Structure 1
Amino acid sequence: MGLEVRDLCVERGGVPVLMGVSFDLPPGKALILRGPNGAGKTTLLRTLAGLQPALSGAVTGGEDLIAYASHSDGLKAMLTVSENLAFWADVFGQRDVTTALHAFSLEPLRDRLAGTLSAGQKRRLGLARMLVTGRPVWMLDEPTVSLDKDAVRQFATVVAGHLASGGSALIATHIDLGLEAEVLDISPLRAQPDARAGASDEAFL
């Protein structure tokens, strides 16, 4: 089952940010979110992931289908790489972390504490969590930050495999990942500013 979004209006700090967002994300497909910084990509992803309510509109495809990777890597510094993956696998009712370790070349680091990893290694570990969720709909917010070129290709390969197995992906990125994907530019969907505008963006990005 995919995701259907109809006439969604999302807000940040009580102020409408995007209005009239509509798209389909069927199994096996990827959709790339584009738009300038601060346009509302993160706010849209957080809303779709169920982390904040929408002002209006409808989303078909429950939150139990979605795995969300935000700007934060979501790691526990005092757990090892394999322990971090095992923790998230347990949260989502999964067990095997071997595939995730292999997919992001983390086997040599499996016994390293997450807090001792480089920024790029932490990012790879954070993305590897997606593979232990068992969720079909991936939502990724600027997933290639801190990744070198080889790791970006590695990530794109993982996403392509997810799509080939019937999963789907909604990715906010300015990078060309080489994926066959439609693009949704949210710039035309930005809400008009009004007198209530003035809430700080930084707290929500």
Structure 2
Amino acid sequence: MLYANDLACVKGDRPLFRGLSLRVAPGDLLRVAGPNGYGKTSLLRILCGLAMPESGEILWNDVPINRDRESYHRSLLYLGHAPALNDLLSPLENLRFACSSGGDKVDEDACIDALVRIGLAQQLDLPARVLSQGQRRRVGLARLFLEADRKLWILDEPFTALDVAAVADLTSTLSEHCAAGGMVVLTTHQDAPFAKAPTVLDLAEVAC
């Protein structure tokens, strides 16, 4: 379980939010909402341990994440807003590298299957520089099909630049992960067709 208690965030000299607490248990899907500039990405980075809060603490299974970062990160999959791709590598090469750098064993056939499922069967060996924004986004999202054993998925605007069919497939994947006891925290400006409505955390309610 992920638990955050009394978080405050300051960016530069500007306070974004304070007094923020949340709880994400197995099976939960939490949508972080709020206008641009209210700290949605900052909150996700804090929850991942990539940035420090001004105050407050984050617990994973009742242990502060800064006490056992290695164990926490083995349970976590974070996909940021910008696809982290090497433009000279193909989608398949990028996916293999992302998995191996995350400490996962790389099965090439599984990587190919994931890219085909996400709609990149015709782009497997093209350099990433020629891909559209939607295709670039799909390369990163293919990791979701390979890392279901990571219980906590934290996703920043995962539906950006996806077409209707891809949004529906991704929504189904996230719902299946939660149904299997996983947890999802995401930001999105889109109304995705989840079978079960997510819990919503509106940062406008805790803004400074």
The interval holding the TM-score normalised by the smaller chain is 0.7 to 0.9
Distance in 2, matches of 1:12 and 1:135, equals 29
Q: Which residue of 173, 179, 189 maps to 2:188? A: 173
* TM value normalised by structure 2: 0.84
Structure 1 residue 176 displacement after superposition:
1.5
User: 2:69 matched to which residue of 1?
Assistant: none
Q: What one-letter code is carried by the residue in structure 2 that aligns with 1:108?
A: Q
User: 2:15 matched to which residue of 1?
Assistant: 16
Structure 1 residue 156 displacement after superposition:
0.9
Q: What one-letter code is carried by the residue in structure 2 that aligns with 1:119?
A: Q
Seen in structure 2, the aligned counterparts of structure 1 residues 27 and 99 have a Cα distance that, compared at 3 Å, is farther
Distance in 1, matches of 2:53 and 2:12, equals 12
Q: Deviations over 1:153-189 (max 9, x none)?
A: 1211221222222211111112111222111111110
Distance in 2, matches of 1:153 and 1:115, equals 26
Q: What one-letter code is carried by the residue in structure 2 that aligns with 1:54?
A: P
**Count of matched residue positions in the alignment of Structure 1 and Structure 2:** 190
Q: Which runs of 5+ in 2 are unaligned?
A: 66-71
Q: Which residue of 142, 150, 157 maps to 2:165? A: 150
Alignment of 1:70-89 (within 5 A): 70-89=80-99
2:90 is aligned with 1:94: no
Distance in 2, matches of 1:183 and 1:76, equals 34
Distance in 2, matches of 1:109 and 1:166, equals 33
Seen in structure 2, the aligned counterparts of structure 1 residues 166 and 103 have a Cα distance that, compared at 3 Å, is farther
Kindly report the root-mean-square deviation, in angstroms, between the aligned alpha carbons of the 2 structures: 1.7
Structure 1 residue 14 displacement after superposition:
4.1
Q: Which runs of 5+ in 1 are unaligned?
A: 192-205
Alignment of 1:1-205 (within 5 A): 2-61=1-60, 62=65, 63-64=72-73, 65-92=75-102, 93-96=104-107, 97-133=111-147, 134-179=149-194, 180=196, 181-191=198-208
Q: Deviations over 1:100-128 (max 9, x none)?
A: 22431223321121111111111111222
User: 2:68 matched to which residue of 1?
Assistant: none
* TM value normalised by structure 1: 0.85
Q: Give SS of 2:16's match.
A: strand
